[in-house]
Amino acid sequence: MPPKPLTFPETFVWGVATAAPQIEGAAFLDGKGESIWDRFSRIPGKVRSGDTLDVACDHYHRFREDFALMQALGVRNYRLSIAWPRIYPSGDGAPNPAGLDFYHRLFDSMAENGITPWVTLFHWDLPQALEDRGGWPSRVVVDAFARYADTVVRAFAGKVKHWFTTNEIRCFTDFGYGPGGHNRAPGRVESARVVNQTFHNALLCHGHAVRAVRAHGGPGARVGLADNCDACVPVTETAADIEAANAWFVDGNQNVIDPIYRGHYADAYLRRIGGDAPHVAPGDFELIGAPTDFLGLNLYTGSFVRACAGARYEVLALPPNYWHADGNWLKLTPQIMYWATRFSKENYAPKEIYITENGCGYDDEPVVGGEVVDLHRREFLRLYLGELHRAIGEGVPVRGYFVWSFLDNFEWNDGYTRRFGIVHVDFATQRRTPKLSARYFSGIIRQNGLP
């Protein structure tokens, strides 16, 4: 007799995730404005093979096909984003009726297929016009986002009840304006003070999104952040190493999660950044610290930490041949699903936690005999979800999991080479082929547990 599956709670939410700029295409159709990634991808050498977002997965025209495929796989929850420049081509000013109409059609199609939307308001596609007026270092973006959030929540309150404010703040701030900013849109390299201001302004946008959902979301509307928190694993499960890992976790998340849940910047953080602290206006932290309904965590990789004589912790360097996906950044550390959610609970006490992204990318996944045998992704899912099951069993309030990604898509600097999807996309023909991992994940959803 086969062993019983590791069962998840009855109300556990299983879903898939994507982002508008990575799958929609139609980059300049029906009044959509230029985004910073539309511009950045056209700079020679910035994106592999010169790939652009112009067509992507052509989801703009094929969403009905994609939702029918989700339904066939048993997917009932879908995390997606709305393209800011499709709603406000210039970032602010007059909204684009064709953009609003597109998402109405999209949400209607989801409803026809029994799929619940979980909507991210901002997933990296800042309107280029706002970048031209200062970008994330400027409060011009904050004011424009406030109007955008109000417009979108009002428009779709009858069809959307689950909202994420922003996705991975450090990726569109530090990575776009910091020391390595030349490798990510918009491609600027600014001072530490300017970078810290981008973080602060992004937090204000998070606050405006919460405010918009509370004001316009209607009965049952819920809202929270989707964050790629710094995650780590204690080298041994001893009190000393766990304490050291927790200290590292707190230090690493003092610029995003900490102020949202505490309503101020930690003294330790302000001491660390010294004279590079951002400008904080009266009322900022009332907005930033407004209560949320859940915390979304995008968990991929982490560090190993242990106690160290003479220091609060020591981070161990990984050996060159440590297990990784394609792309050296994604070192596979399944234990972060347990430790990141546990440390989040212990330090910030979110009401609920959702894994808003988790997945792995590989460069060569051909369709052979009508299928993609991605056993490496299947093992990834099994190991990471096993650690998540442990966390839930110990009382961590994890309520759902969204695999990244539903479709192979535009993977930022890696273009269309790096594939994260559980569904293969032939970008020449736009044919969709569910991979072995899609069938595996479909089985997990069906039995609400790991085989």
Which residues are catalytically annotated? 168, 357
Q: Give dist(CA 346, CA 279) in Å, integer.
A: 30
| Assigned token pair, 52 | 């652009």
Q: Give the chain's radius of gyration (CA, Å).
A: 21
Q: Give dist(CA 77, CA 111) in Å, integer.
A: 11
